[in-house]
Structure 1
Amino acid sequence: MARKKYHRGRKREKKKSNLILNMILVLALIVFAVSAYQLFGIIKGYMDGRNEYEEIRDLAIESSGGDDEPEGFRVNFDELLAVNPDTIGWIRFSPEPAIINYPIVQGEDNEEYLHKTFSANENTLGAIFLNAGNSPDFSGRNSIVYGHRMKDGSMFRHLQDYEDQSFWESNPYFYIYTPDGREITYHIYSVGQVEDTSDTYLTSFASDEDYQAFLDMTKEISLYDTGVEVTTEDTIVTLSTCTSASDEHRFVVRGVKESEVNLNQ
């Protein structure tokens, strides 16, 4: 009798153990399925975003010169404005990082294009956008352009290539094109990591002295000395993206306006 009770007890324990194992297996499968779905969503988001911007380039870029001929590059802003009336420019690096080749928009605030692409699709890539408080013609003393640091290398991810001084030496310029036909050449003079509350993001200055102090600061905190001179007669563009350091840090590349030509003339 005791043996029968023992065996029944063992069977109950075995069934209970199997039930727990089955529950763990089901939970593991659910976690795996959810994770796989989330991963698929992330990958699909990257692909959709990159495909969209490829289509925008095909639509808007009329011609492109070689690495030594940035003046051969043309943007059809009529096409861009038809897609998005918030278009205020196009940014391009030549020769590298060539992947940074995007339209620039300006929203009513700095939240609008964080997760909305140029074509107004919800996507983590967002758009490259000008600070809402800046003049859309890039005439301000410090125009700030934002872009995400995407893991697939898109948007402003490759700004951090400028951590290496040798990369800057080979690629010291970027170009901004505007709807009124201007091609503006910017000479990169300062790069580095800052906090998101840094004075780097000041856009107005009470006096020339304040502006000069700001410019001096941007050179002092640069990762390396570029030797590029900047004075109160100059205007700059600050390109800003996130970093892997923390949510409170940003990586910035600052360029001083070196020249401007009207491509319509």
Structure 2
Amino acid sequence: MNRVKHFVTTILLLTSFGLSAFCLTIRLSSYETGREEYRQLQEQFELAAGSTADDAAAPKVNMEKEEKWTRMMTSRNPDYVFWIWIPGTNINYPTVKNTIPGYYLNHTFSGEENPCGTIFCLEEAENQIIYGHNMKDGSMFADLKQYRSEAYFQNHRCIWIYRQGDWQQYVIFSCYTVREEEMGIYQSHFISEEEKQTYLESAERKSLYTTGSQPEITDSLITLSTCLGKGKRVIVHAVLLCYTE
């Protein structure tokens, strides 16, 4: 009887191990599929922008190529809003508007079901909230967790957004971690200057280090968010610095 139990236990353990290995293989394959889709888009974007992701300054876009680029992106996905790029990091992706709640958490830009998802925002707002996964392979918004280091921030201060023919340059003014239940950081609209001032002061106070940048009440903001382990989020705030045509 004991021999039978031992045999059954061994079979169950081997089956469990086999299923785990199979699931891991499937997940890794999904990651690679997602990486390849975005790698192709990044290459196409660099060709249109006449620049590479390592360049420190905003590229000069060829208008003819830009028009073709915009038509291509919107034809592939009508939810396309803008391209987000942080020089010197892996963050170099199309951003979509999340018209179906949660859809882009597990669907790529092309609409394929994939755990890497897509960088997405909810709506145009005074404080544009942008979400992305913290992927173990370093893709999507994984590099945001590096901003917990002041030295990393010093070398990657600016966030570039290419929207409707214009480059928008944002400079980071705060970075910190929060518990996932702290939802006040995702406030996108403000009913008064006093309310926005309170928000800005709170963001600056929470920052892990002094950035040297201080937004004005009238400034436009973006807030980048990603997961950090269980129940935590990394938050990076940036303020619009200028437009570059």
TM over 0.5: yes
**What percentage of aligned pairs have identical amino acids?**
31
1:103-182 to 2 correspondences below 5 Å: 103-131=94-122, 134-135=123-124, 140-178=125-163, 180-182=164-166
Q: Corresponding residue for 2:184?
A: 199
Distance 2:218 2:143 in 1: 30
Q: Give the Å deviation of 1:259.
A: 0.5
Selected match of 2:11 from 26, 41, 44: 26
Please tell me the residue identity of whatever aligns with 2:242.
S
Answer yes or no: is 1:64 the counterpart of 2:64.
no
Q: Give the Å deviation of 1:45.
A: 1.3
The alignment partner of 2:98 has SS state of: coil
Query: Which structure has the greater CA radius of gyration?
Result: 1
Please tell me the residue identity of whatever aligns with 1:70.
A
Partner deviation per Cα, 1:89-116 (whole Å, 9 max, x = no partner): 000011x21x110000002144121111
Q: Return 5+ residue gaps in structure 1 as ranges.
A: 1-15
Moved more, 69-78 or 149-158: 69-78
Asked if the contact 1:141–1:204 (Cα under 8 Å) also holds between the matched residues in 2, the reply is yes
Answer yes or no: is 1:100 the counterpart of 2:91.
yes
The alignment partner of 1:70 has SS state of: coil
The alignment partner of 2:195 has SS state of: helix
Distance 2:132 2:95 in 1: 10
Asked if the contact 2:58–2:167 (Cα under 8 Å) also holds between the matched residues in 1, the reply is no
Please tell me the residue identity of whatever aligns with 1:252.
I
Q: Give the Å deviation of 1:79.
A: 1.4
Asked if the contact 1:144–1:201 (Cα under 8 Å) also holds between the matched residues in 2, the reply is yes
Q: Give the Å deviation of 1:57.
A: 1.9
Number of matched pairs = 236
Asked if the contact 1:190–1:223 (Cα under 8 Å) also holds between the matched residues in 2, the reply is yes
Partner deviation per Cα, 1:132-185 (whole Å, 9 max, x = no partner): xx21xxxx320000000111111001101111101111110010001x201000
Asked if the contact 2:79–2:99 (Cα under 8 Å) also holds between the matched residues in 1, the reply is no
Q: Corresponding residue for 1:3?
A: none
Asked if the contact 2:178–2:235 (Cα under 8 Å) also holds between the matched residues in 1, the reply is yes
